[in-house]
Amino acid sequence: MIDRPTALPARAHFSSGPCAKRPGWDASQLATESLGRSHRSKIGKSRLKLAIDLTREVLSVPSTHRIGIVPASDTGAYEMAMWSLLGARPATMIAWESFGEGWVTDAIKQLKIDADVVTAPYGELPDFTRIDQSRDICFTWNGTTSGVRVPNGDWIRNDREGLNLVDATSGVFAQDIPWDKIDVLTYSWQKVLGGEGGHGVLILGPRAVERLESYTPAWPLPKIFRLTSKGKLIEGIFSGETINTPSMLAVEDYIDALEWSKQIGGLPELMARADANATELNRWVDATPWIENLAKVPATRSNTSVCLTLPGADEALPKAIASLLEKEGAAYDIGAYRDAPPGLRIWCGATVDTSDIEALTQWLDWAHAQATA
């Protein structure tokens, strides 16, 4: 029997969304001048614009791309893009986990557009080199529920005819995004930066703006999806004039995370922290016979949402392990996503400390021994 570890992780927050707050976070440190004020007031607009400007700085988003804060988390941002842009030409929907499957449902059953569907099982990626880039392409950059990421954007042609719409919600701020290859990118800040939920970020490249201003979808668009007026992009959305009322508290929390990101060294350090966390966890996985990485190919393994399976075990065992660790205060919310294969899912994004991952692995060994005794 394995002895119960003596040291708990300093922060046992390993949820894959909302994710751990930054180290040292405290609500009393948030700026409060915008709270209780209209988001359309001078201070409200200035804080929203600051969030956009800091996003551009930390992510090195080029001036060719517009950044907007939009409603309803990453789901709202991605559906806004799909409903506003798709239908102008045939599309290819790529899915290898649950969120990608959701975008397939939107395209095929709701929008009913001319779309091919390319899939791969959990833990694997399809062959991107065979994707027809004369079509619009929709895909997730990092599969939050499968732990599989696109390793790079080399397969995206510079002379592509279609647009690519990228859901990067658990990849951005932890993985290198080739902005010259990206037409649309969406995310929600409650992932890698540990922000509060409810808000999405929509980033549009020039080819997407050109599509918006030259194409009108066949279906009606709800107000919160409308990005154009009289055939022109609503530029205010991309300077802090949100479509609906945002939570200024959530915005201040996002600003706090972005400023922390700058203080520690920006995007290179954010990526390095996520890499170090995933490396530590995978070192333990490689040395532990009862657990495996769901992602089959090392180059495609996520450095944020690391998904693990227990070969030969039924779904009761990982649930028992997750339950034991929650009761001990050693790890919260590490069960696999409900639509994914049974297993564990451990967030390794930049707001997690590697020392806590190291402590967690000892508790995982203990919990497995307890659950199988």
What pLDDT is recorded for position 192?
Answer: 92
pLDDT category, 141, cuts 50, 70, 90? very high
How is residue 353 written in tokens?
């400390």
Beta bridge partners of 326: none
- Distances in whole angstroms, Cα of residue 247 to Cα of each of 199, 263, 284, 330: 8, 25, 40, 31
CB 25 within 8 A of CB 219: no
Residue 187's DSSP bridge partners are 201
Which string of DSSP letters, residue by residue, matches 133-183?
A: TTSEEEEESEETTTTEE---STTS-TT-SS-EEEE-TTTTTTS---GGG-S
Question: What confidence tier does 121 reach under pLDDT thresholds 50, 70, 90?
Answer: very high
Q: Which two tokens stand for residue 277?
A: 């966390």
Residue 312 sits at φ, ψ, to 5 deg, of 80, -5
DSSP states of 94-142: EESSHHHHHHHHIIIIII--SEEEEE--TT----GGG--TTSEEEEESE
For the stretch 276-295, pLDDT in tens is: 999 999 999 999 999 999 99
What percent of the chain shows pLDDT beyond 70?
100
Radius of gyration from C-alpha coordinates of the chain: 21
Tokens of 51: 């969030």
* Per-residue pLDDT at 1 exceeds 90: no
Q: Is the pLDDT of residue 124 over 90?
A: yes
Say whether pLDDT at 348 is over 90. Answer: yes
Domains and CATH numbers, the chain: 30-262 (3.40.640.10), 266-372 (3.90.1150.10)
Residues 322 and 344: beta-carbon distance below 8 Å? yes
Looking at residues 339-346, what average pLDDT do you find?
A: 96
Separation of alpha carbons 199 and 191, rounded Å? 11
The Cα angle at residue 60 between residues 55 and 61, in degrees rounded to 5: 75
3-state secondary structure 288-340: CCCCEECCCCHHHECCCEEEEECCCCCCHHHHHHHHHHHHHCCCECCECCCCC
Q: How confident is the model over 239-266, as pLDDT tens digits?
A: 999 999 999 999 999 999 999 999 999 9
What pLDDT is attached to residue 46?
98
What mean pLDDT value characterizes the chain? Answer: 97
As given in the structure block, the two tokens for residue 322 are 């997750």
27-52 pLDDT per residue, tens: 999 999 999 999 999 999 999 999 99
Nearest C-alpha neighbor of 93 from the set 123, 116, 66: 116
What pTM value is reported for the model? 0.98
Burial class (CB in 10 A: 0-12, 13-18, 19+), 31: middle
Contact in structure between 125 and 285 (CB atoms under 8 Å) = no
Of 194, 187, 339, 315, which Cα lies nearest the Cα of 253? 194
Residues forming beta bridges with residue 190, ordered by sequence position: none
Nearest to 253 by CA among 205, 297, 311, 189: 189
CA 200, 205, 208, 210 torsion: positive or negative?
positive
Amino acid letter at 283? R
pLDDT for 109 beyond 90: yes
Tens of pLDDT, residue by residue over 129-138, are: 999 999 999 9
